[in-house]
Amino acid sequence: MYSSKRVLISNARTMISLDLARMFHSLGIEVYVVDSNKLHMCSFSKAIKKSILVPAPRFSPDKYIESVIEIVEKEKIDLVIPIYEEIFYIAKAIDKFPKSCKVLSTSFDILEKLHNKWSFQEKSKNYGFKTPKTYLLKNSLDLHHLDFEFPFILKACYSRASQQIKIIKEEKDIAKIDYIESDLWVAQEFLVGKKYCTYSLCSEGRVNAHVTYPLDYAIEDNSCLNFKSVKHDKIFEWVERFIKLENFSGQIGFDFIESEKGELLAIECNPRATSGAHVLCLEKDLAKVFFGEISDKTIFPTKDITKQIAPGMLMYGWQSKSIFTFIKDFLVFKDIIFDKKDIYPFLSQPLLFFYYLFLSRKLKCNFPSMFTHDLDYNGFLE
What three-state secondary structure class fits 203? strand
Residue-wise pLDDT tens digits, 58-84: 999 999 999 999 999 999 999 999 999
pLDDT reading at 140 higher than 90: no
The pLDDT, as a whole number, for residue 382 is 47
Q: Residue 34: left if φ>0, alpha if ψ -120 to 50, beta else—which one? A: beta
Q: How far apart are CA 178 and CA 175, in angstroms?
A: 8
Provide the number of structural domains found in the chain.
3
Q: Is residue 115 part of a domain?
A: no
32 and 165 in a single domain? The answer is no
Q: Is residue 113 part of a domain?
A: no
Mean pLDDT computed over 261-283 = 93
The model's pTM is 0.93
pLDDT range class, residue 381, cuts 50, 70, 90: low
69 and 139 in a single domain? The answer is no
Q: For residue 31, what is the domain's CATH number?
A: 3.40.50.720
The pLDDT, as a whole number, for residue 94 is 96
178 and 207 in a single domain? The answer is no
Q: Is residue 287 part of a domain?
A: yes
Average pLDDT for the chain: 91
- Residues in CB range of 15: below 8 A, 6 or more apart: 41, 275, 278, 309, 336, 337
Q: For residue 176, what is the domain's CATH number?
A: 3.30.1490.20
Domain residues for 290?
Answer: 194-335
* CA angle, 137 then 142 then 148, to 5°: 95
The pLDDT, as a whole number, for residue 123 is 96
238 and 274 in a single domain? The answer is yes
Residue-wise pLDDT tens digits, 196-207: 999 999 999 999
Q: How far apart are CA 15 and CA 17, in angstroms?
A: 5
